[in-house]
Amino acid sequence: MTDPSVFEAAISSITGHVGVFGPTSFKAYANKHGFPNANTAHSISIDFIEKLDPLLYSNDTMVFRLGVSEGQRTTNFALVKCKGRLKDFFLFDSEIYDNLPIIEFNIPKDKRKYLPYIILPDLTEISFVHLGLFSGLFANALNLDKKRDIIIPASTHSTFTFSFKPHSALPDIFHHNKGQVEIDAVFLEKRGGVQTLFLIEAKNGFGNTSPKTLSKHKLLYPLLSIADKVPAEIPIVPIYVKVQKGNNGLVFNIAEMKCGDPRDGLISIDELLLERASRYFFPLSFL
């Protein structure tokens, strides 16, 4: 017998094939329905479809964390049900990368500069970003005008406020109020002679049990967080990077995404789509 889901009451309230529950305070909702010990982050911060509550999964329903409640210190959440379209909220590695060839990256000279990436037993996701930028691998994959310049990205973990549509099939607009958003890396470089802002979400894909998906909000929340501060003439390009262990090296899976420009109006989560993808092997056994 499966354990009861904290979302049962909310799911029951959504009638029809498409609908929304909330936004409302998660703690207040959980207490009202007999789940006073429900963990907020575990329940509503869903980065992968593999972590989605089974009841939500079986009902084609996505959960969104929406920042703090006005005048309170609790976190808001909302559910979005789209019958038969749960996949619209996620990116699937198998659909993006599986049929692509792996290109061996030609490491620049002075290979000893990469010693720190070899001697450490485990690399963080931001280390993957630095390696991809420092080596020129990302410059190749993203077709930047300058392939060998050293690029130092900015990153942050802060609170942001913005609005978006949870799905193009719904009229609803969600307001993310002063909620935590992590931005792995953002940098400005020219491509085709145009100054372009690239925004990277990096994930560690080591091990057979690592998730094979990514929630689209992990790219769109950072995009929405910074878009109104970026000059209109500068395109913003979201990049999803998944790094896996290869034989004596690393495999960089790099997906360039596309969506509407939030500076021109509200965008929907399901608008984020694949533009192009590539796979590169970075050898780490050359010393």
State whether the Cα torsion 260-266-269-271 is positive or negative: negative
**For residue range 168-200, what is the model confidence (pLDDT) as tens digits?**
999 999 999 999 999 999 999 999 999 999 999
CB 217 within 8 A of CB 64: yes
State whether the Cα torsion 86-88-93-98 is positive or negative: positive
- Band (pLDDT 50/70/90 cuts) for residue 286 is low
What's the whole-number average pLDDT of the chain? 92
Strands 174-191 and 75-82: unpaired
Contacts of 221 (CB under 8 A, 6+ apart): 160, 162, 176, 181
DSSP SS3 for 276 = strand
**For residue range 133-175, what is the model confidence (pLDDT) as tens digits?**
989 999 999 999 987 777 889 999 999 999 999 999 999 999 9
Domain limits of the chain? Answer: 8-84, 90-283
How much of the chain, in percent, has pLDDT values that exceed 70? 97
pTM for the structure as a whole: 0.93
Which pLDDT score is estimated for 256? 98
Which pLDDT score is estimated for 1? 47
Token pair for residue 165? 């549509």
CB 213 within 8 A of CB 50: yes
pLDDT (mean) for 249-275 = 95
Question: Looking at 39-43, 116-120, 142-146, 158-162, which range is the least confident one?
Answer: 116-120
Q: What is the DSSP letter of 196?
A: E
DSSP SS3 for 193 = coil
- Band (pLDDT 50/70/90 cuts) for residue 2 is low
User: For residues 179 and 171, what is the distance between their CA atoms, to the nearest angstrom?
Assistant: 23
- Band (pLDDT 50/70/90 cuts) for residue 92 is very high
User: For residues 56 and 236, what is the distance between their CA atoms, to the nearest angstrom?
Assistant: 32
Residue positions counted in the chain: 287
pLDDT of 234 strictly over 80 = yes
Question: Looking at 68-82, 83-97, 176-190, 219-233, which range is the least confident one?
Answer: 68-82
pLDDT of 275 strictly over 50 = yes
